[in-house]
A and B are shown apart, each in its own frame.
Chain A
């Protein structure tokens, strides 16, 4: 194989696939980035990385002097390419398992991995469905954080992605709180092939974190496809696939409270900053904030050692009075991912969930259970 690549394009492509390179070397081939240059030349080169859980592939233009396949150590290739000064990069094999990478005055002889050990990528052909990149990214951003970081209950470590009835939905929960995002789909372009079947898949939060990163700045439809065990996301620049989580996602529709005793509208950043301030006193264990609404919103936090803190936050459209308590993190995390100036917060006393919704944006609801006070 012999290739000539533009440094900037190559560097971007390597950075795109590098994050799905396996960090564990139990299967050495998964620590590599696969480069494939087709027969016939001129058609470019394909870069692929996968840790079996997820993978991404992207195609870039290249001057293919001789076609071939090589598997190069992913982290090393990425570190080298990132540090090259620019210009052209030449990659060539010499038939002895060594890849020569040259650029300007730099020369590297890299020991390649055996490309035949690299797994074949899953065939993901069901669908397709289309979701606008911006909405997909926003939906993931506003839900993925609510998934459980623990793997002990796999269904809770994922985000439920649904396309149904002209809507795109993303839902995630760690069982203590739940984030629900729903937007109407932009009608697909004339002639675009789109499935009329509903889509329901449960995708690992970690994979979606990568999807979110890959979607940054894109404004185009993303094509979703599914197979029995996988989902893929395709854009003009990449094809990403992830394993699906098997199991039944909890019935999220029944967690939305119908009535709330207390409702108020509050400035999102003012509430976020007040919570961050008063949480400072509880450094050990999860910080808990007590909220009291009685004509105003009063926040209070007790630290085991540091002391205590309280603050009142100005509110509007206040109805009802009562008190409750939450883990501070469960409130600050959602306030951070929202973008509207104001949020609506509502709760009922006792073992009932509170709700947070952005004011002026339809379709997003965050439901959070309180902690029980002693």
Chain B
């Protein structure tokens, strides 16, 4: 049976929300991201006016400033975008419960079961776009095709404010002139490899036999052939599978010596993993500490907390408990924390007051807005700045700096 898969992409989402709420920005190039003075920050989103100057997402903000110095630069206001995103999601769920959010501004819908409610797919797409505009005042691009990868590509060809409907035959024709990198799962590396083999466009791949592709690329060749011919039977999964665990680990360029250095690194890792936990709206009950000692001796230690926790401080304290459980076997090469038994709906306790992570959330908000950790818990900060005497010892030590954590 032919499926009606819809891909919806909110146009220049963050910028569009900003412009909607500040109409005086309309028609001006708007760049949402790090402050223009930031040396290493990047562009998060920009509107189409800014794109005309060559500004792109993920571009260093300094490059964007050079390309478009008169643009309006705005900080990222995640909570507000998330709220609008929820609104959009509610609109989509009025059409079908089969909504799979991919990111804050993109989603797949499986409209197959309700397709008969519309005279044709064009009308279906129009209805979706209008409903979104009515509820949020924002425009969305819509692609409708028999499967996910085609719907996404179709959507991309119509941006902004587009509506593209493809049958399978139309899709195969439309794909032919596109670069292979348009296909799902073909990244820059694979694309370069394919180009070396003489496949520049999807049409080049379509012209090759499956046997030939398998000979050249192995199993990936078979997948590539399927995608080039517009075959993809992945289902739309409402609400992506909940995450089972969240972890962060750091490998040190210079192994950490002593408990104090380990505690400092633990504080930093606690903040990182805590921020990610809260950003996903999750609570954890289990925590695992991973240690790698020189030379390559791994150890993990875990505990289950009596109550779900979410704050940096709780994560740090449980981490400390695990760290102190046994003495260190030598210099630490790697330190990591993993949180598991995650839930969005933590069970409250009759006897212990629930953790209030109001402070943490406030801290996250301020730090996100600033683009760097401007606010930190004193307890965690203290762990990261050992007493001055200890610091002196370290700087005197052949003048080398204390081994700093480095994210992998």
Of all chain A residues, the one with the shortest Cβ separation from B351 is A250
Q: Which chain A residues border B281 with CB–CB below 8 Å?
A: 374
Q: Mark A255-276, 1 if CB is under 8 A from B, else 0.
A: 1000000000000000000000
Known: A175-B306, A176-B349, A177-B350. A305 touches B344 (CB 8 A): no
User: Does any Cβ of B come within 8 Å of A293's Cβ?
Assistant: no
Q: Which chain A residues border B352 with CB–CB below 8 Å?
A: 175
A23 to chain B, nearest CB (A): 25
A372, B354: Cβ atoms under 8 Å? yes
The interface size bin for chain B is 20 to 34
User: Does any Cβ of A come within 8 Å of B75's Cβ?
Assistant: no
Q: Quick one: which of A284, A325, A369, A372 contacts B350, CB cutoff 8 A?
A: A369
User: Does any Cβ of A come within 8 Å of B241's Cβ?
Assistant: yes
Known: A175-B306, A374-B281. A305 touches B241 (CB 8 A): yes
Of all chain A residues, the one with the shortest Cβ separation from B239 is A304
Q: Which chain A residues border B347 with CB–CB below 8 Å?
A: 176, 286, 327, 369, 371
A284, B349: Cβ atoms under 8 Å? no
Interface residues, chain B, with chain A CB atoms under 8 Å away: 97, 237-239, 241-242, 281, 304, 306-307, 343-352, 354
Complex Cα spacing A250 to B306, Å: 14
A374, B239: Cβ atoms under 8 Å? no
A73 to chain B, nearest CB (A): 37
User: Does any Cβ of B come within 8 Å of A244's Cβ?
Assistant: no
Known: A308-B97, A351-B354. A369 touches B239 (CB 8 A): no
Complex Cα spacing A173 to B352, Å: 13
Complex Cα spacing A250 to B238, Å: 42
Q: Which chain A residues border B350 with CB–CB below 8 Å?
A: 173, 175-178, 250, 255, 353, 367, 369
Q: Mark A153-195, 1 if CB is under 8 A from B, else 0.
A: 1000000000000000000010111100000000000000000
Q: Which of A283-336 contact B (CB under 8 A)?
A: 284-286, 288, 304-305, 307-308, 325, 327
Complex Cα spacing A286 to B346, Å: 10
Known: A152-B304, A153-B306, A175-B306. A305 touches B237 (CB 8 A): yes
Complex Cα spacing A368 to B342, Å: 21
Cross-chain pairs A/B with CB under 8 angstroms, 15 sampled = A175-B306, A175-B307, A176-B350, A250-B351, A286-B347, A304-B239, A307-B238, A308-B97, A353-B350, A369-B348, A370-B348, A371-B343, A371-B346, A372-B354, A374-B281
A374, B349: Cβ atoms under 8 Å? no
A304, B345: Cβ atoms under 8 Å? no
Q: Which chain B residues border A173 with CB–CB below 8 Å?
A: 350
Q: Which chain A residues border B238 with CB–CB below 8 Å?
A: 305, 307
Q: Which chain B residues border A255 with CB–CB below 8 Å?
A: 350-351
Q: Which of A195-233 contact B (CB under 8 A)?
A: none
Q: Which of A250, A255, A369, A372 gathers the greatest number of chain B CB atoms within 10 Å?
A: A372
User: Does any Cβ of B come within 8 Å of A105's Cβ?
Assistant: no
Complex Cα spacing A8 to B97, Å: 61
B304 to chain A, nearest CB (A): 7
Q: Which chain B residues border A370 with CB–CB below 8 Å?
A: 348
Q: Which chain B residues border A288 with CB–CB below 8 Å?
A: 345
Complex Cα spacing A325 to B344, Å: 12
A371, B237: Cβ atoms under 8 Å? no
Q: Which chain A residues border B345 with CB–CB below 8 Å?
A: 288, 325, 371-374
A372, B346: Cβ atoms under 8 Å? yes
Complex Cα spacing A353 to B353, Å: 12
Interface of A is mostly: loop
Q: Quick one: which of A250, A285, A305 contacts B343, CB cutoff 8 A?
A: A285
Q: Which chain B residues border A305 with CB–CB below 8 Å?
A: 237-239, 241
Q: Which chain B residues border A374 with CB–CB below 8 Å?
A: 281, 344-345
How many residues of A are in contact with the other chain, CB < 8 A? 28
Q: Which of A134-156 contact B (CB under 8 A)?
A: 152-153
Of all chain A residues, the one with the shortest Cβ separation from B237 is A305
Q: Which chain A residues border B343 with CB–CB below 8 Å?
A: 285-286, 371
Q: Which chain A residues border B344 with CB–CB below 8 Å?
A: 374
Complex Cα spacing A192 to B258, Å: 68
Q: Which chain B residues border A285 with CB–CB below 8 Å?
A: 242, 343
B329 to chain A, nearest CB (A): 27
A138 to chain B, nearest CB (A): 23
Complex Cα spacing A175 to B239, Å: 31
Q: Which chain A residues border B242 with CB–CB below 8 Å?
A: 284-285, 304
Known: A285-B343, A307-B238, A372-B354. A175 touches B349 (CB 8 A): yes
Q: Which chain A residues border B346 with CB–CB below 8 Å?
A: 371-372
Please give me the 3 A-B residue pairs with the lowest Cβ-Cβ distance, nearest first.
Answer: A371-B345, A369-B348, A374-B344
A365 to chain B, nearest CB (A): 12
Q: Which chain B residues border A371 with CB–CB below 8 Å?
A: 343, 345-348
Of all chain A residues, the one with the shortest Cβ separation from B282 is A374
A51 to chain B, nearest CB (A): 26
A136 to chain B, nearest CB (A): 25
Q: Which of B97, B239, B307, B350 gathers the greatest number of chain A CB atoms within 10 Å?
A: B350
Q: Mark A342-374, 1 if CB is under 8 A from B, else 0.
A: 000000000101000000000000010111111
Complex Cα spacing A286 to B307, Å: 15
Complex Cα spacing A178 to B304, Å: 21
Q: Which chain B residues border A367 with CB–CB below 8 Å?
A: 350
Of all chain B residues, the one with the shortest Cβ separation from A302 is B239
Q: Which of B281, B306, B347 gathers the greatest number of chain A CB atoms within 10 Å?
A: B347
Of all chain B residues, the one with the shortest Cβ separation from A175 is B349
Q: Which chain B residues border A286 with CB–CB below 8 Å?
A: 343, 347
Complex Cα spacing A353 to B354, Å: 12
B383 to chain A, nearest CB (A): 27
Q: Quick one: which of B237, B239, B348 contacts A176, CB cutoff 8 A?
A: B348
Of all chain B residues, the one with the shortest Cβ separation from A178 is B350
Complex Cα spacing A369 to B346, Å: 11
Complex Cα spacing A16 to B205, Å: 75
Q: Which of B239, B281, B348, B354 gathers the greatest number of chain A CB atoms within 10 Å?
A: B348
Complex Cα spacing A184 to B307, Å: 36
Of all chain A residues, the one with the shortest Cβ separation from B350 is A255
Complex Cα spacing A173 to B345, Å: 20
Complex Cα spacing A176 to B306, Å: 10
A105 to chain B, nearest CB (A): 56
Given pairs A255-B351, A325-B345, A369-B350, 9 additional interface contacts (CB within 8 A): A175-B350, A176-B347, A176-B348, A284-B242, A304-B241, A371-B346, A372-B346, A374-B281, A374-B345
Of all chain B residues, the one with the shortest Cβ separation from A290 is B345
Complex Cα spacing A44 to B306, Å: 50
A369, B241: Cβ atoms under 8 Å? no
Complex Cα spacing A250 to B352, Å: 11
B90 to chain A, nearest CB (A): 13
Q: Which chain B residues border A176 with CB–CB below 8 Å?
A: 347-350
Of all chain A residues, the one with the shortest Cβ separation from B341 is A285
